[in-house]
Amino acid sequence: MNQLEALAYRFRRFAELECRDSSPLYERLSTCIADDPQLLELATHCAEGQPPPNLFLGAAHLVLLENPSHPLSAYYASLAESPEDREGAYSHFRSLCLEHSERIVETVSTRLVQTNEVGRCAVLLPAFAIVTARSATRELAFVEVGASAGLNLLWDRFHYEYGDDARWGDPASPVQLFCEPRGEPMPGIAAPPPDVVLRVGIDLDPVDVGDTEAVSWLRALIWPEHRQRVAALEGALRLADAETPTLIAADALDALPGVLDSVPPDTALCVFHTHTLNQFPPAGRRRFGEILDEFGARRDLYVVSIERHGAQQERVGALLELTAYEGGRKTSLALGRCDNHGMWLDWFGGAA
């Protein structure tokens, strides 16, 4: 399989596994890109280690947001109140990409897929509730690996709804998240929220919320139909203006040991990551696990993750997992399966 064939396969799988029932427009565009050698050639410039469909479609969305008078805008719910049927979109999409090919290539070769998906906090919250319940103190420290702009570190400042009755957080928060509950009943979430005394994010290239271009890229990475996600991002950016978490620009494998060692010993420590390990090479994933194991052997640690990797790539949704290191003993539990953007959570039942 040559490079173009491999890219075509990835766009088809993206359409089938990621976009179906979530973004009809991106499903259509990705399927067509897979059969278009010229656009696949543009996609060959995607930065190494990045998911080409997300990066390429994000770059095109960025160009469109910069050129809203282009005919393609009529098909994007991010720009049109009542978008036209997706079936007519591809010819306009193709012309946009070819007309602005230099801008597309520049973007895909220099940007990273750093979607700061605020909605994932609705999936993380029940796992964080378990961490709070199991810890000996209500003072918690959170370290996020792959933090982007660090907005998810502000999770306790958001308001959450699960179905008709379950609500948590500040009703007046500018971030209002709704997650459809599926499966078994989720654990109760205590109120008031725990005291979060430390918020640290590690990212190769953290997003500065004061950088207009960087924020425009975050906006472009959100799929056109997902207006709720846009509202959540904008609300979280307003919160970040008042309280910006500490962000460290570094390779997590280099920085994480020192960050963990610096956390005050009288706090409950939780590391979390969402759709991050897929950007690590196999050796990097192994080393990441070793760092956590080594630290967890000498201090209690909780690790919450939302990831899809290995055989999980072929399944709908991502896996929510909790790994606890308590008294030197490691236990892991799959808590549920969830939408990649936090729109639903299928809870498996039980608690770690």
Average pLDDT over residues 5-24: 93
pLDDT at 315: 55
pLDDT at 311 over 60: no
Q: What is the 3-state secondary structure (H, E, C) of 205-226?
A: CCCCCCCHHHHHHHHHCCCCCC
What are 46's two structure tokens? Answer: 């995607």
pLDDT at 266 over 70: yes
Half-sphere exposure of 111 (CA within 13 A, CB side): 29
pLDDT at 134 over 60: yes
User: Where exactly are the structural domains of the chain?
Assistant: 3-110, 118-347
pLDDT at 137: 82
pLDDT at 351: 61
> pLDDT-derived band of residue 345, with 50, 70 and 90 as boundaries?
very high
Q: How would you class 22 by CB atoms within 10 Å of its CB: exposed for 0-12, middle for 13-18, buried for 19 or more?
A: middle
Average pLDDT over residues 74-99: 96
pLDDT at 215 over 60: yes
Q: Alpha helices, DSSP H only, in the chain?
A: 3-13, 24-33, 37-43, 52-66, 90-99, 101-110, 121-134, 212-220, 227-242, 252-262, 282-296
Q: How far apart are CA 352 and CA 342, in angstroms?
A: 21
Alpha-carbon distances, residue 225 vs 205, 220, 350 (angstroms): 27, 12, 34
Average pLDDT over residues 17-38: 95
> pLDDT-derived band of residue 222, with 50, 70 and 90 as boundaries?
very high
> pLDDT-derived band of residue 298, with 50, 70 and 90 as boundaries?
very high
Digit-coded pLDDT (tens) for 244-257: 899 999 999 999 99
Looking up tokens 């500065």 gives: 208
Q: Does the 118-347 domain belong in CATH 3.40.50?
A: yes
pLDDT at 163: 85
136-140, 191-195, 245-249: least confidently modelled range: 191-195
pLDDT at 170 over 70: yes
Alpha-carbon distances, residue 210 vs 229, 237, 333 (angstroms): 20, 9, 38
What are 352's two structure tokens? Answer: 């770690």
Q: What percent of the chain has pLDDT over 70?
A: 97
Residue 118 CB neighbour total at 10 angstroms: 28
